[in-house]
């Protein structure tokens, strides 16, 4: 089976790129996989990519930034989409040509605008899977209207949380489209897990306002006042760097809190810490939370929509605190700083509880959805709400491709039965 991912810019840095690379590399164990990057702005990706995965750019901004068609606004990519200004008639053309010529069995879009391209431009024979890496509620009413119209041509739409999948089912009315939560996966760690002895708190992500690193630094000032031998390391880069550096200086934390710059991969940095922390106002999933937990760190996180609450079990493998509450954040950090044994036990539990985000379980779910989408596309029948119903329908109809579709449905049934045990 050939699987093609369509992504905005594989040469940048961000959670969507990370999880796309992770899933593509895991699928490459058994399938032919490519990543089609609409844009390219540098020679090599920031993240290492398995050589078995082909990376193919469509528009190289180093050479084509001033292309006449790139100066004209896009017509297919929705105008209400966040990245609209980076798209153009040139990207419309290149994406359309790539989809028309694809020999993939399934194409997976990785953001709303690209899902629209996929829905309206992919050949009829190609199974269409759209991914939502933000949330439905994060999109404007205008964009939701455009997505509702286009998404009805998809076979599958995946979200990263159950909460967002429920929102899509309730608000979008997409008959015949399977809407299912497919969490992001994190590769199995290569290094020994953290042992909880290092007096280091670790955070990672883009230095942007929504991540609320200012709140973290202010909360850590209360930690450092009681435990001056503890350190805070924040990994990432972004527009907030100068402001955060000034805040560290103003609070007198220049010997306790450090902006470390970007690090990829982060595993070697997580294992140097004992506590992970995430302070976002909004987090569609929480990739860094899973990364930290898989490396043996309990994570203190704001209980923001939607991801943290579906990842962290409060008081077991981490702590959840109200959004924007500096004192609650400091108290949760101090709880773990003061109690080495509790910190160590929660770190071990974090490893166990985060196994559900390992590549194996996530890839098996992705393969099931892809198999069912291909079978449904081949028969011309809408994808059934669950594998059992699809299995029964295909048997009763006796389509020409029944044998292949039946096999796909059987795999889905076995997955469901295993999940019920």
- Is residue 14 within 8 Å of residue 45, measured between CB atoms? no
Query: In the structure, what pLDDT confidence band is assigned to residue 385 with cuts at 50, 70 and 90?
Result: low
pLDDT tens digits along 69-108:
999 999 999 999 999 999 999 999 999 999 999 999 999 9
Backbone angles phi, psi at 231, to 5 degrees: -125, 150
Q: What is the model's pTM?
A: 0.82
Helix (H) or strand (E) holding 130: strand 127-132
| Contact yes or no for 347/202 (Cβ under 8 A) | no
Which has more confidence, 198 or 376? 198
Instruction: With both helix axes pointing from N to C terminus, report the angle between 359-379 and 402-420 in degrees, rounded to the nearest 10.
Output: 150
State the pLDDT at residue 81: 97
Domains of the chain by start residue, with CATH? 2-181 (3.40.50.2000), 200-357 (3.40.50.2000), 388-421 (no CATH)
| Residue among 364, 377, 375, 361 at smallest CA distance from 408 | 375
- Render the burial of 400-415: b for 16+ CB within 10 Å, e for the rest: eebebbbebbebbbeb
Tell me: the pLDDT tens digits for 263-312? Answer: 988 999 999 999 999 999 999 999 999 999 999 999 999 999 889 999 99
- Provide the token pair at 348: 């071990």
d(C-alpha 239, C-alpha 231), whole Å: 23
């Amino acid at each position: 089976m050939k699987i093609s991912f369509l992504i905005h810019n594989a040469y940048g840095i961000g959670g969507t790129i990370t999880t796309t690379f992770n899933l593509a590399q895991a699928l490459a164990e058994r399938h032919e996989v490519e990543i089609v990057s609409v844009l390219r702005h540098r020679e090599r990706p920031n993240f290492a990519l398995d050589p078995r995965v082909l990376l193919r750019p469509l528009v190289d901004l180093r050479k084509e930034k001033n292309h006449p068609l790139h100066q004209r606004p896009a017509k297919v990519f929705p105008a209400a989409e966040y990245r609209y200004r980076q798209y153009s008639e040139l990207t419309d053309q290149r994406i359309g040509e790539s989809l028309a010529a694809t020999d993939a069995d399934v194409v997976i879009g990785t953001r709303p605008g690209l899902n629209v391209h996929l829905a309206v431009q992919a050949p009829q024979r190609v199974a269409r899977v759209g991914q939502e890496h933000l949330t439905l509620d994060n999109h404007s009413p205008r964009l939701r209207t455009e997505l509702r119209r286009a998404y009805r041509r998809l076979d599958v739409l995946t979200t990263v949380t159950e909460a967002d999948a429920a929102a899509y089912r309730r608000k979008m009315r997409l008959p015949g489209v399977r809407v299912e939560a497919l969490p992001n996966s994190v590769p199995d760690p290569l290094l020994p897990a953290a042992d909880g002895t290092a007096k280091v708190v670790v955070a990672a992500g883009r230095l942007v306002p929504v991540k609320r690193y200012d709140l973290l630094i202010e909360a850590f000032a209360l930690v450092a006042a009681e435990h001056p031998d503890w350190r805070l390391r924040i990994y990432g880069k972004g527009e907030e760097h100068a402001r955060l550096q000034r805040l560290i200086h103003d609070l007198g934390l220049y010997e306790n809190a450090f902006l470390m710059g970007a690090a990829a991969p982060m595993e070697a940095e997580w294992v140097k810490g004992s506590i992970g922390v995430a302070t976002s106002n909004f987090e569609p999933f929480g990739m860094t939370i899973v990364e930290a937990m898989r490396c043996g760190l309990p994570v203190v996180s704001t209980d923001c929509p939607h991801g943290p609450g579906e990842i962290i079990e409060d008081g077991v493998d981490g702590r959840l605190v109200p959004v924007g509450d500096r004192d609650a954040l400091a108290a949760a950090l101090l709880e773990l700083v003061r109690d080495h044994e509790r910190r160590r036990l929660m770190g071990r539990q974090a490893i166990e509880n985060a196994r559900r985000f390992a590549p194996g379980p996530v890839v098996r779910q992705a393969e099931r959805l892809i198999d069912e989408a291909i079978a449904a596309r081949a028969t011309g029948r809408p994808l059934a709400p669950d594998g059992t119903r699809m299995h029964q329908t295909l048997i009763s109809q006796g389509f020409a491709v029944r044998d292949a579709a039946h096999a796909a449905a059987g795999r889905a049934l076995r997955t469901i039965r295993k999940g019920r045990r």
